[in-house]
């Protein structure tokens, strides 16, 4: 009974502390306009991630779901331990069940860590604030993974945790700072996406850059595709690239509308839609949309 009680105390201390770390309140943070944020936050250039299989919004939801799954497994593990102790049924079979849950937690934590790395690699440059918050969560996650791994090793050997080990784990956890909650972080991601869309889709056409004939309007549409594709190819967008795309989009849209030809208005709306998709971080749809626009446009006019 003493072994089981000590093991329960250790597991509970680890799991509850990590749950608290994932669900602590941020106390609020002020979001600045995306372009200002990019110039005031120092961020390392991330590793390119060419294969974009989801949007920023969907990836944030996935991270939240992974964190919720970890918390559910935490609760199940603790309940199983407490039931076994209260009913004096902490058998080898139930202990093995707890060990399996710990292995599950470790796997779930690794999956969450991978999702966090995908987000920060892909969106660090255009969403530095939310990326930095997520990196703070990842730091605590790594500490949790290491502690869970140590606990699994001990249980694998003889199912006994010493009091000294309990003290070591508790001391380690006191050094883990609580940071932003996953829930609050996701809300800030959604807010940042909306702010970014508002900022980049309000660029005004440049004076002297607006055409009034079909040839120049089609040329600008092709220029938009080229600039867009060049930025898209490496799988990562910078604030400078988003600004360039948005400005060329504003010019091309104005030129297409200024022709007065309703048949060309659809191209202008397609460029606007592409710009909104890309600044919202929905890069999978962007790849499909740019190809549709390329195929539908007449050939680039020759000089």
Q: For 8, left (φ over 0), alpha (ψ -120 to 50), or beta?
A: alpha
Report residue 185 as tokens. Answer: 């972080």
Contact 105, 74 (CB under 8 A): yes
In the chain, the percentage of residues whose pLDDT exceeds 70 is: 67
Angle at 247 between CA 244 and CA 249, to 5 degrees: 105
How many C-alpha atoms does 101 have within 13 Å on its Cβ side?
Answer: 22
Q: How far apart are CA 222 and CA 275, in angstroms?
A: 14
Contact 77, 29 (CB under 8 A): no
HEC-encoded secondary structure of 207-233: CCCCCCCHHHHHHHHHHHHHHHHHHHC
Least confident among 48-52, 217-221, 247-251? 48-52
DSSP string, 114-147: HHHHHHHHHHTTT-HHHHHHHHHHHHHHHHHHHH
CB atoms within 10 A of CB 117: 16
Cα→Cα distances 290→15, 24, 53, 131, 211, Å: 46, 41, 16, 27, 22
pLDDT tens digit string along 113-135?
889 999 999 999 999 999 998 88
User: Across residues 49-75, what is the average pLDDT?
Assistant: 76
In the chain, the percentage of residues whose pLDDT exceeds 90 is: 39
pTM of the model: 0.73
CB atoms within 10 A of CB 226: 13
**Residue the block writes with tokens 């220029």:** 223
**Residue the block writes with tokens 């001990």:** 154
pLDDT tens digit string along 163-210?
444 444 445 445 444 444 777 899 999 999 999 999 999 999 998 999
Q: How far apart are CA 244 and CA 34, in angstroms?
A: 14
**Residue the block writes with tokens 């208005």:** 265
pLDDT of residue 193: 95
Q: How far apart are CA 50 and CA 231, in angstroms?
A: 11
Angle at 59 between CA 56 and CA 61, to 5 degrees: 110
Sign of CA pseudo-dihedral 131, 133, 138, 139: positive
Q: How far apart are CA 221 and CA 226, in angstroms?
A: 9
pLDDT of residue 87: 64
* Residue 261 DSSP SS3: coil
* Residue 288 pLDDT level (bands cut at 50, 70, 90): confident
């Amino acid at each position: 009974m003493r072994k089981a009680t000590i093991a329960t105390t250790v597991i509970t201390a680890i799991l509850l502390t990590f749950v608290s770390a994932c669900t602590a309140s941020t106390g609020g943070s002020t979001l600045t306009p995306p372009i200002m944020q990019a110039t005031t936050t120092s961020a390392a250039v991330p590793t390119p991630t060419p294969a974009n299989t989801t949007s920023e919004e969907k990836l944030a939801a996935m991270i939240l779901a992974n964190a919720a799954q970890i918390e559910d497994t935490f609760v199940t593990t603790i309940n199983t331990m407490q039931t076994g102790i209260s009913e004096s049924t902490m058998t080898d079979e139930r202990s093995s069940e707890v060990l399996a849950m710990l292995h599950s937690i470790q796997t779930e934590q690794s999956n969450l860590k991978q999702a966090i790395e995908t987000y920060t690699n892909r969106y660090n440059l255009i969403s530095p604030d939310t990326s930095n918050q997520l990196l703070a969560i990842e730091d605590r996650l790594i500490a949790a993974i290491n502690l869970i791994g140590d606990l699994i090793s001990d249980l694998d050997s003889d199912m006994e945790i010493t009091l000294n080990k309990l003290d070591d784990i508790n001391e380690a956890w006191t050094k883990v700072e609580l940071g932003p909650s996953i829930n609050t972080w996701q809300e800030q991601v959604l807010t940042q996406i909306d702010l970014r869309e508002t900022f980049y889709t309000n660029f005004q056409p440049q004076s002297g850059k607006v055409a009034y004939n079909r040839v120049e309007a089609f040329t600008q549409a092709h220029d938009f595709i080229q600039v867009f594709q060049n930025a898209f190819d490496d799988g990562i967008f910078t604030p400078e690239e988003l600004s360039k795309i948005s400005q060329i989009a504003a010019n091309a849209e104005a030129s297409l509308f200024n022709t007065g030809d309703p048949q060309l208005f659809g191209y202008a709306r397609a460029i606007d839609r592409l710009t909104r998709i890309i600044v919202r971080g929905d890069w999978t749809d962007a790849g499909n949309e740019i190809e549709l626009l390329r195929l539908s446009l007449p050939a680039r006019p020759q000089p």
